């Protein structure tokens, strides 16, 4: 049975990827490259990058001048709470954390204010599974 939270977030079109690296060997790059190839708008968020995948990189969520649907987090778990707070201020619809990235308290807080949360899952894997299933 399909997970409704995953389905909801995969319907989004604009993904801000926090921790997106320009290094093609990094999971953040590979997943973002795949999602962009599937028609998603990918916005890099990384203060150490100026451009990734042909897109201007922003130092933080607050610096992005456009609306964002989902924030995909490729940072260590201890950074999730601050990113969730920034995402709530930004007005996003959902939070997605990649495999191994877990902060249950931040997830609870995000859900309390109405965000959809998918935690400890890979967006690329879930997108592929959705289209194979």
**pLDDT tens, residue by residue, 82-120:** 999 999 999 999 999 999 999 999 999 999 999 999 999
For residue 56, the enclosing domain spans: 4-132
Work out the pLDDT band at 133, boundaries 50, 70, 90: low
Q: What mean pLDDT is predicted for residues 33-42?
A: 98
**Which contacts qualify for 6-9: CB closer than 8 Å, 24 or more apart?**
6/118, 6/121, 6/126, 6/130, 7/130, 8/93, 8/94, 8/116, 9/69, 9/70, 9/93, 9/94, 9/96, 9/116, 9/118, 9/123
Q: What mean pLDDT is predicted for residues 77-86?
A: 98
Q: What mean pLDDT is predicted for residues 38-64?
A: 98
Residue 31 belongs to domain with CATH number: 3.40.50.720
Q: What mean pLDDT is predicted for residues 40-66?
A: 98
Which residues neighbour 103 within 8 Å (Cβ) at sequence distance 6 or greater? 77, 78, 80, 81, 84, 97, 119
pLDDT for 132 equals 83
Q: Does 5 have pLDDT greater than 90? A: yes
pTM summary value: 0.96
Query: Rg of the chain's alpha carbons, rounded to an integer?
Result: 13
Grouping H, G, I as helix, E, B as strand and the rest as coil, residue 128 is helix
Structural domains of the chain, count: 1
Q: What is the mean pLDDT of the chain?
A: 96
Cα–Cα distance for residue pair 103/46, rounded to 1 Å = 20
């Amino acid at each position: 049975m399909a997970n409704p939270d995953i389905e909801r977030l995969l319907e989004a079109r604009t993904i801000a990827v926090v921790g997106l690296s320009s290094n093609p060997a990094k999971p953040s790059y590979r997943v973002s490259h795949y999602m962009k190839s599937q028609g998603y708008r990918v916005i890099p968020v990384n203060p150490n990058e100026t451009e990734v995948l042909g897109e201007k990189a922003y130092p933080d969520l607050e610096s992005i001048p456009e609306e964002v649907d989902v924030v995909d987090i490729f940072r260590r778990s201890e950074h999730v709470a601050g990113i969730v707070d920034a995402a709530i201020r930004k007005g996003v619809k959902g939070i997605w954390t990649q495999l191994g990235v877990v902060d249950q308290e931040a997830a609870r807080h995000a859900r309390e204010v109405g965000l959809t949360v998918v935690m400890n899952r890979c967006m690329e894997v879930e997108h592929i599974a959705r289209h194979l299933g």
